[in-house]
A and B are shown apart, each in its own frame.
Chain A
Amino acid sequence: MTEERIGVYVCHCGSNIAGVVDVEGVAEWAREALKDRGVVIARDNKFMCSTLGQELIENDIEKEGLTRVVVAACSPHLHEGTFRTACQRAGLNPYLCELVSIREHVSWVHKDKAVATQKAKAIISGGVERVALHEPLEPLHVPIHSSTLIVGGGIAGIQAALEIADSGYPVYLVEREPSIGGHMAQFDKTFPTLDCAACILTPKMATVGSHPNINLLTWSEVEQVDGYVGNFTVTIRKKARYVNTDLCTGCGICEEKCPKKVVDEVFEAGLGYRKAVYTPFPQAVPKYPVIDVDNCTYFEKGTCKACEKFCPTGAIDFEQEDEVIQVEVGNIILATGFDLFDARRISQYGYGRLANVFTSLEFERMCNAAGPTNGEIVLRDGVTKPESVAIIHCVGSRDKNYNNYCSVICCMASLKFAHLVEERTGAEVYNFYIDMRTAFKDYDEFYQRVLEEGAHFVRGRVAEVTDAARMPGEEGKLIVQAEDTLIGKQRRIPVDMVVLAAGLEPRHDSKEVAHKFGISCSANGWFIEKHPKLDPVATMTEGIFIAGVAQGPKDIPASVAQGAAASARVLGRIQQGEIALEPVRASVIEERCSGCRICNNLCPFNAISFDEEKKVSVINAALCQGCGTCVAACPSNAITGTQFSNEQVLAQLNGLLMLNVANGHGAVTEAERVPA
């Protein structure tokens, strides 16, 4: 028998609930049958969430002195906030209000009225039993540090960094490679405008490099993240460049004089060379080179040191060490981008074996005027111009054997390649596609333009790229064999060069990165957003946002938009200065804790630690996300969870089983069934 004064409100929701459940009967029943359980008033109303409905509750709280409220209506995911706020307005702690669903879980899924009504009664009984044990709670207020960490210096990260920095707040931009720019810096032209990628990117990069509010940490990686929203402590390792950046002027003499040439697997996609001491590309930001210790003669044998000899300012420092720093930030944006699908996995396309098969990234570097061929489209021998080029779409995408998803940008990229080939070589171009995905602004017009330029389109998945000639005209060529599904015939098309539009994949270490930051990854490896439709840049972890291709394949405009969106969210938080965290969390009752520490390892947010002096476990309320696993695991019942304590759940259970109502067993009796 409780001393609480509980008000029960049953919503009709128009006919959504009332059409199946006898709402007036239920309210009446609650008034009578649950009188002993604390219910002092029970009402029904057409639309509880309306202003009138809410006022009903507010008036009753004031006039009837209600101490608890149960609303039986739609899903708490919709209106829990509405009713909690209504209670708060009337002076009742919002956490003393419980919304139970008799719409999604009853009237919308059952047809038998008698049974549905009975179930609604049980659900209300559960709510009433439970709410009597609720406690008033206050949200946890946590201050927000005004600095932001952005991981990944590609276009999305750059955009986010500029937005926040321009608003006057400090940003740490961490980038793993020696320069920012990401994959976009590797491209030649961008679709559909055919803007030169470097021309539109480098001004932004330059701004980032000289912005007073951006602390640019390239050739660096995040090692550890501690803390919680508003108060993250991030450990960053600044890898040794072996170049003293205070002295380096970026003149490039070290790179010129270095005798060791190495294939550049990263920026040149394996198509070109760099030196052991290098900047990845001429417009690199920052302009300071790095030394690749795995390939440097000095680090291997102790000789050479040409860079040191020729450096006019003495900036080369072979003794330099990694520097590990810690920064305090309030929010984090992950914009780590993608890796290209490894086309060697599809052995029948011959990449890696047949010289003149290239991937899309290799081809971008080839087309780029600053690339290994100075923008000339040539075969692997570096000299011969191709007279025919085949471009294969969906390599490693839309494929059960590799990646099921569509990589979004390859169709447009392939059309771009087709255009560039025609423009620069006049060669015949064949695009082998499954569907043409040209959905956004000016994209389809670009497709039509390429069609008019005379590119050939074969709708069919390529079976094989081979050099085994079979018919006259095939000798010395690469033969692309595909079924042309529009004419229903097998085709063998001899070409000089094949370009594979390889798909986008998550970074190979995306799962580790996600774990480090405490967010989740989908099975594929893309970071998971809070809601796929309505919240694409936030994650389930407060304070951590995602932007760009790291969230899923997308083009540059979408990446920029997401970078800006994430920065807007962060700025909103910084503006408010503090954030209110839901008070659903666990805490240890010290007197009951025996120090067994079973709970310590259960928390994925590292919220539970052990107090060596008191020999009890302690939960950090700000880190705790309220899952309740530790509550369930404690053998001494020493951990209690607010809003979901054992007592509350068991009380709700008793209510559902109608154990506290006279004549209440859950099973429906014959008399209550509507005749068939």
Chain B
Amino acid sequence: MTEQFEPLIIGFTCNWCSYRAADLAGTSRKQYPPNIRLIRLMCSGRLSPEFVLKALQGGADGVMITGCHPGECHYLEQNFKALRRFALLKRVLAQMGIEPERVRLVWASAAEGVHLAQEITDMVEAVRALGPLDWAGVASNGSAHAIPAAEIVGEEVSA
């Protein structure tokens, strides 16, 4: 058997929508790859970019950030703040030479268990294709690997 690279992805879920979506995937027995491990936050707005960086530094190959759909945040509008931070975070990561596909933002309502499972499956494959994250290399070489801003500008996350 060939040794396939198994990426490790850390997922941040919001207590109200996306965590419940993950629960729903469970109750529906919708299978998805085990490469993801979830952390519960009360709201996607709680996500500090430092969490993402620490995750990548600590050995994760990718990070998924999830939350309620814009307009449906339990705390009214905090997922918009998460969206803003995410946009900036992507640029910072690109500057460091970390591929944009390693950090993904997904909106999932409490009813979208299947959708979330599908997103996780897609992301695992996408990160698998990128290979393991060489954090040490990134941290030392920095801007040598920087990805041009033009490639990440205008990326949309559909509501």
A388 interface residue (CB < 8 Å to B): no
Q: Nearest chain-A residue to B31 (Cβ)?
A: A109
Q: Give Cα A523–Cα B31 distance, bound, in whole angstroms.
A: 30
A468 within 8 A of B: no
For the complex formed, measure the closest distance between the CB of B27 and the CB atoms of chain A, giving whole angstroms: 7
B: residues with CB less than 8 A from A are 1, 3, 6-8, 10, 16, 19-20, 22-23, 25-27, 29-34, 37-43, 45-48, 50-51, 54-55, 58-60, 71-78, 81-82, 85, 117
Alpha-carbon distance between A654 and B71 when the two chains are bound, in angstroms: 33
- Tell me whether A126 and B41 are in contact in the complex, defined as CB-CB below 8 angstroms, given that A627-B78, A629-B46, A657-B55 are known contacts: no
* Residues of A contacting B29 in the complex (Cβ-Cβ under 8 angstroms): 108-109
A122 within 8 A of B: yes
CB pair A109 B117 closer than 8 Å: yes
| Residue ID in chain B nearest A646 by CB atoms | B48
Distance (whole angstroms) from the CB of A457 to the closest CB of chain B: 35
Q: Could you say which of A112, A633, A652, A653 contacts B34, with CB atoms under 8 Å apart?
A: A112
Do A122 and B42 touch across chains, with their CB atoms under 8 A apart? no
Q: Which residues in A have some Cβ–Cβ distance to B below 8 Å?
A: 75-77, 101, 103-106, 108-112, 115-116, 119, 122-123, 126, 518, 520, 522-523, 528, 540, 584, 602, 604-605, 625-629, 631-633, 641, 644, 646, 649-650, 652-654, 656-657, 659, 665-668, 670, 676
A123, A626, A676: the one within 8 Å of B42 (CB):
A626
- Chain A positions within 8 Å of B26 at CB level: 75, 101, 103-105, 108-109
Contact of B6 among A627, A628, A668 (CB under 8 A): A668
Find out whether the CB atom of A104 lies under 8 angstroms from the CB atom of B27: yes
Shortest Cβ distance from residue B13 to the other chain A in the assembled complex, whole angstroms: 9
Sampled A-B contacts (28; CB under 8 Å): A75-B26, A77-B19, A105-B22, A109-B26, A109-B30, A109-B34, A110-B32, A110-B34, A126-B39, A520-B71, A584-B42, A604-B77, A604-B78, A626-B42, A628-B41, A628-B45, A629-B46, A629-B75, A632-B46, A649-B39, A649-B41, A649-B51, A652-B39, A657-B58, A666-B8, A666-B37, A667-B59, A670-B1
Closest to B37 in A: A656
Report how far A654 CA is from B54 CA in the complex, Å.
9
**B23 surroundings in chain A (CB, below 8 A):** 75, 77, 101, 104-105
Q: Find the residue from B19, B32, B42, B77 having the highest chain A CB count within 10 A.
A: B42
Q: Which residues of A contact B58 (CB under 8 A)?
A: 653-654, 657, 659
Q: Are B45 and A627 in contact (CB under 8 A)?
A: yes
- With a cutoff of 8 Å between Cβ atoms, the chain B residues found around residue A670 in the complex are 1, 3
Beyond the given pairs A105-B38, A604-B75, A627-B78, 12 more chain A to chain B contacts, judged by CB atoms under 8 angstroms and listed by A's residue number, are A75-B23, A77-B20, A106-B34, A109-B30, A123-B37, A518-B76, A520-B73, A626-B42, A650-B50, A653-B51, A653-B54, A653-B58
B42 to chain A, nearest CB (A): 5
Complex: A453 Cα to B123 Cα, angstroms: 62
Bound-state Cα–Cα, A631 to B78, Å: 12
Q: Return chain A residues, CB-CB under 8 Å to B50.
A: 646, 650
- Would you call B75 and A119 a contact (CB within 8 A)? no
Determine whether the beta carbon of A657 is less than 8 Å from that of B60: yes
B59 CB, min distance to chain A CBs, angstroms:
5
Q: How far is the CB of A638 from chain B (nearest CB, A)?
A: 13
CB nearest neighbor in B for A630: B45
Least CB distance from A95 to B in Å reads 14
Given contacts A109-B26, A110-B31, A602 and B81 within 8 Å (CB-CB): yes
6 closest A-B pairs by CB: A104-B26, A628-B46, A629-B45, A627-B75, A627-B43, A604-B76
